Structure 1
């Protein structure tokens, strides 16, 4: 597949923090040889509260993005404030990890249809062994932040709404880059 043109400058209208976008695009360039597809990438902005949409699906050809809700790990927010406080790559931490992930195969597991992830950096290289995946769960709904002021928490997985999961798995299928950080 021919490499997609990566936008050279931040697109202000896409709602992505420009510093985070720059880091994500640098990770995309650094790991391009591992990617089967270069048309869409996921960028998760953990500097935003969980009640806000913060999982961006960035079209690398047009520069357009769509943003959805995503939970972070219990170990990243022990007081359940709705804000990610720390990352971890440690087994049993129940925390979210930062850095670049390669999206991998779809499967059906405890949370239904899900997508495995492979960490590409020392900050997340235990992702597959930790079973850090993309899935949906009842604690991530559009109504949850309205009722509770925040989303529920995962064990470190990228948990999205059941309504958004099919779109995420289609647009960000196997062989794409997913980048998460807090800038």
Structure 2
């Protein structure tokens, strides 16, 4: 957890060049020394593949608002603005500024083909839902070892448990599948992972860590109170 004693006031605007996009992004930093550009720079020094600055900034805005309700200092970021062939899931230790795991992840069947474009909170939509989730308990289901998720944003993902939106392994979420088809296979809305990595991810983040699913969806970005400064 980030203690109140480390908070400092930051009132300036920061411009940073994102190596993943090749463009510059201007942001107002979070009001502490865990601001997004500081963590972004720390991650960039240690890792080749990192979340883009915009996705990370939104994720950390929510982290600041929700961390007091978490049991683990881990933040999982899924960036659905990237194609499914890219490693677009990161498990980040926020306090140590370390990426613990990075992998591909599948989106929902009706969310899109290679790119995730359509998002829904509606049962039977077979679409992915954006926003913040708290990881919950594990169970053995039709996809084997799986992790339940509780959506924290009413109207955007609060139907996750009712829809059985969970993290699980799937053969169609393997990189080899993408190489043969040009994209990963798609789920019924779950963030599905390569089966050889799913148990490791689940054990890392289960029982009380934060997960953020990002997408370039203006309805969500304009209305979610958790991503706003």
TM-score past 0.5 threshold: yes
Higher relative contact order (CA 8 A, sep 6+): 1
Paired position in structure 1 for 2:227: none
Cα distance, 1:9 vs structure 2: 3.1
Give the TM-score normalised by structure 2.
0.74
Range that drifts further, 26-35 or 173-182: 26-35
Contiguous gaps of at least 5 residues in structure 2: 7-32, 217-229
Does residue 1:84 correspond to 2:116, yes or no? Answer: yes
SS of the aligned residue for 1:70 comes to: coil
Among 139, 143, 167, the alignment partner of 1:134 is: 167
Structure 1 outlier segments of 4+, above 2 Å:
2-7
Higher helix share: 2
* Aligned mate of 2:36, from 6, 9, 24: 9
CA RMSD after TM alignment: 1.6
Mapped to 1, the partners of 2:34 and 2:214 lie a distance apart of 20
Q: Which residue matches 1:69?
A: 104
Aligned runs of 1:1-183 on 2, under 5 Å? 2-3=1-2, 7-10=34-37, 11-12=40-41, 13=44, 14=47, 15-38=50-73, 40-65=74-99, 66-77=101-112, 80=113, 82-122=114-154, 123-183=156-216
CA distance in 2, matches of 1:35, 1:75: 31
Contact 2:36 2:60 in 1 (8 A): no
How many aligned positions are there?
178
Larger Rg: 2
1:76 deviates by: 0.7
Mapped to 2, the partners of 1:3 and 1:104 lie a distance apart of: 22
Q: Distance in 1 between matches of 2:97 and 2:146?
A: 26
